Amino acid sequence: MTYLQNIFLLLIITIACSCNKQTPMQFADNKVVAHRGAWKANNLPQNSIASLKKAIELGCVGSEFDVRMTMDSILIVTHDPDYHGMQIEESTYEELSKVKLSNGEILPTLESFIIAAMTNNATTGLVCEIKPSKDKSKNILMAEKALALVKKHKAEDYILSYISFGYNILRKIEEIQPSAVTQYLDGSKTPSQLEKDGINGLDYHYSKFKYKSSWVDSAKEKGLILNSWTANDEAIIDWLIDLEFDFISTDEPELALQRIQKRPISKGYKLVWADEFNYKGAPDSSKWAFETGFVRNLEKQLYTKDSSNVNVKKGNLRITAIKERLPNPSFVSLDKKSWKQNWQYADYSSGSISTKGLHGWQYGWIEVRAKLPKGRGLWPAFWMLGNNQKEVRWPACGEIDIMEHVGFKPDSIFGTIHTQAYNHMKKTQKGKHVFIDQPYDKYHLFAIEWTPEKIDFLLDGQVYNQVINEHKTTDEWPFDQEFHLKINTAVGGMLGGKKGIDDTQLPSEMLVDYVRVFQKQ
């Protein structure tokens, strides 16, 4: 071979190697697993090599895909048991591959998928879901063949995990390759059972974790991997991020990557307390206490413990203001100076709950996701008072109004602080209002970020008011102490009743999806 021929051959080899470049894997530092690849936003076929490549391009930590076996024992990547009217287990790969995917790709084999994943990819692991066969005797064969293909191409480092609804499939993988990472999908096994059987993690539908919340802590204690599918709703994605799940499988990887950057955890906060309201009945008495009777602000409602006013169902705390005549249990006589004792009846009822005496926090990120009640005269609020209220009274104890809304101004919410120096009695309170879109028809996120230097008020992640610590006295800044949280819907009162009360809007219900408190450790 001549010198020029040698140079030409070397050039061809160099080009070939660069086209099939294998880069050492270091999985991306995020939780996002693109479910069947990043297909949705890009209008690509699910389980296609194109959707895999898009997941790699996005930098997802993983790209999930589904594996089935044809009649001639070829492992292919597809989700459903049939493909364009052909039963996969009763068809050969040659027959199936004649029908291309919508983007023109040939139906991928597992082998072609592995090769594609090893090309120009250093961050996105394969999450290989092996679909159980109708013929259970084939499940073990599929596990063996999948591991053999990975071994053939020396692709072990590219596998983030093996997942399956077939428990025997996962146990076989663990038997053949103990170093493999396996996660069970069915949702029927406790963390203890998985640990006992050598399965590495839970990959359950998020609804399972909603109603088996203890499994999250149990899995963490046992060092098991936590994943959840298929989280496409922003609120569900946020919840999984806040609970520090290891992975989140989603059809919306772009959204999930954005949410990771926007959640308090990205700023160094950790979830320290929450109520997700995933139960039925009265609010959790270990977290909430009721306020009852006439309480404040010349409000017209009697706060009660009755389930018609306060209850938890269908994943929400529900506080309902009702038009009804009720006797005032604190009534003494019409001559009493105190309005709380000289009002014989209330014309309305509603609910108010508080963490006073149960939980308090000094600094942090506190947020409430809720849909507000509609009606002129209603005054829903999420707010906080200093725990020294009994000793120094209001306003010296300090007040933080995370969110106030009045029904006569339906397009606005308010974020305000009250102190000895700055309060509504002196008309010096520090507050701002901001436009809110569809407060009665959509859930919104109301939050504060409270530090020793400032309090930021946020609506749906956007700061609209900031109060700075002037470093004077506690008259200006009483916020270096623990505060407790209140949630209520008032009727009428000094602010809510300024434009009267529209009884035709009652009953009116506030829905609270969750309350979460984050703090820096």
CATH number at residue 448: 2.60.120.200
Q: 296 and 213 share a domain?
A: no
Residues of the chain whose pLDDT is less than 70? Answer: 1-23
Query: Which parts of 421-495 are beta strand (E)?
Result: 430-435, 444-450, 454-459, 462-468, 483-491
Is 280 inside any structural domain?
no
* Residue 279 is assigned to a structural domain of this protein: no
The reply to whether 467 and 319 lie within a common domain is: yes
Which residues are annotated as catalytic?
A: 399, 404
Query: Residues 311, 253: one domain?
Result: no
Which amino acid type is present at position 495? Answer: L
The predicted pLDDT at position 341 comes to 97
Residue 267 lies in a domain: no
Q: Are residues 207 and 319 in the same domain?
A: no
Q: How many CA atoms lie within 13 A of 304 on its CB side?
A: 23
Give the pLDDT of residue 521: 84
Distance CA 197, CA 167 (A): 10
Q: 114 and 58, same structural domain?
A: yes
CB atoms within 10 A of CB 33: 30
**Same domain for 207 and 147:** yes
3-state secondary structure of 263: coil
**Strand 75-77 vs strand 62-69: parallel, antiparallel, or unpaired?**
antiparallel
Total domain count, the chain: 2
Q: What local confidence, expressed as pLDDT, does residue 3 receive? A: 35
Q: 142 and 216: one domain?
A: yes
27: CATH: 3.20.20.190
Alpha-carbon gap, residue 61 to 48, rounded angstroms: 17
Q: Which domain, by its residues, includes 365?
A: 289-520
Is residue 224 included in any domain, yes or no?
Answer: yes
443 falls within a domain: yes
Is 382 in contact with 403 (CB distance < 8 Å)? yes
C-alpha span between 22 and 32 (Å, rounded): 22
Distance CA 241, CA 157 (A): 26
Query: Residue 221, Cα to own-chain centre: how many angstroms?
Result: 21
CA distance linking residue 230 with residue 19, whole number of Å: 34
218 with 321, same domain: the answer is: no
In-domain check, residue 7: no
Q: Which of 262, 278, 311 is the last residue of a domain?
A: 262
Burial of 229 (0-12, 13-18, 19+ CB in 10 A): buried
47 in the same domain as 180? yes
Judgement on whether residues 339 and 245 belong to the same structural domain of the protein: no
Residues 323 and 453 in one domain: yes
- Are residues 475 and 365 both part of a single domain? yes
Kindly state whether residue 9 falls inside one of the protein's structural domains.
no
Query: Would you say 93 and 70 are in contact if contact means Cβ atoms under 8 Å apart?
Result: yes
Pick from 227, 262, 297: which residue ends a domain?
Answer: 262
Q: What is the pLDDT of residue 23?
A: 63
Q: Is residue 281 part of a domain?
A: no
